Amino acid sequence: MSILSVRNVTKAFSVPGGSFTAVDDVSFEIEEGESVAIVGQSGSGKTTVARMIVGLETPTSGQILFRGSWRKARGGAKARREKARQVQMVFQDPYLSLDRRMSVQAILSSSISLFEQLSKKDIAERTRELLLEVGLEEHHAPMSPTQLSGGQRQRVAIARALAARPDVLVLDEAVSALDVSVQAQVLNLLSDIRETRGTTYLFITHDLAVVNQICDRTIVMAEGKIMETGPTEKILTDPDSDYTRGLRDALPRPGWVPKRRLAT
């Protein structure tokens, strides 16, 4: 059974003078332990798919299943907590996804205490473990996010998502706000986590370099629809659709050099 199934999901937003279909009848499956990317330009509907999967948006029609059971979008705090154990999310902007007024320690321990009934001492211990797991050090704990670099903040955000011990991690442009060298470090960290925890990843990105580095399979979206889907290597080297080819050629990045250039 797939860990995550998206079945005929459509999302329409009402806008002045009508409605706008952001996601149009999209279906796909993600298997346990896979690392899948949804790529597309801005406005392709990829972020809306991610927000529906985690439960920040309600699909207009269609269903999202986790191990075969329906993930209803609405629900009280307790239902959301249960769903967080299934799927958690890392947001794009590490400057805005952490409460700027809280210390790293406070952010992590408050998340941990939501998911595990632990004593104060054990929570502090778990916080330390999480910090070390994401490559931070103990002296970062009392700091405010405003005192950390972008990469460090994103590590805190990942640690916070891991506090729920989720089976699936949705990463919405999670490295695109970072410098290229920092991007590589964070992606390496994510690879390590995947190896130790066996977490399933869903990357939402416009950046094919990221896809190339960490994803087994890629789904290409445009204008709310899936254009094509297949193993990452095939999508990057020999895509079926012209759209994907255009996307690939339009976004050259260090670490991934278009083949055509090599030929000249």
Partner 1 sequence: MTAVVAAPNNPVAIFGRFSPVVVVSVLIIVVFTTAAILAPWIATHNPNEPDLLNTQSAPTGTNWLGTDNLGRDLFSRMVHGARSTIFGPVLVITVATTLGVSIAMVAAWCGGIVDQIIARFIDVMFSVPTIIVALIVVMLTGAGLTGVVIGLSIAYVPYYARLIRSAAMKERSLPYVDALWLEGRSGLWIVCRHIIPNISPLILTQSIASLGLAIIDITALSFLGLGVQSPDSDWGVMVRNGIDGLLSGRPYESLFAGLAIVLFAGSVNVLGNHLSRRFEV
* Residues in touch with partner 1 (CB under 8 A): 54-56, 76-84, 88-89, 91-93, 96-101, 111, 114, 144, 147, 157, 160, 164
Please name the helix (run of DSSP H) or strand (run of DSSP E) that holds residue 42, with its range, or none: none
Please name the helix (run of DSSP H) or strand (run of DSSP E) that holds residue 109, with its range, or none: helix 104-115
With respect to partner 1, which residue has the nearer C-beta, 18 or 76?
76
With respect to partner 1, which residue has the nearer C-beta, 166 or 239?
166
With respect to partner 1, which residue has the nearer C-beta, 42 or 264?
42
Secondary structure letter of residue 223 according to DSSP: T
With respect to partner 1, which residue has the nearer C-beta, 115 or 256?
115
Give the shortest CB-79-to-partner 1 separation in angstroms: 8
Sign of CA dihedral 245, 248, 251, 252: negative
End-to-end Cα distance, the chain: 46
Two tokens at 16?
């002045």
Give the shortest CB-260-to-partner 1 separation in angstroms: 37
With respect to partner 1, which residue has the nearer C-beta, 56 or 180?
56
Give the shortest CB-218-to-partner 1 separation in angstroms: 25
Provide the 10 A C-beta neighbour count for residue 130. 22
Give the shortest CB-250-to-partner 1 separation in angstroms: 27
Give the shortest CB-161-to-partner 1 separation in angstroms: 8
Secondary structure letter of residue 256 according to DSSP: B
Strands 4-15 and 18-30: antiparallel
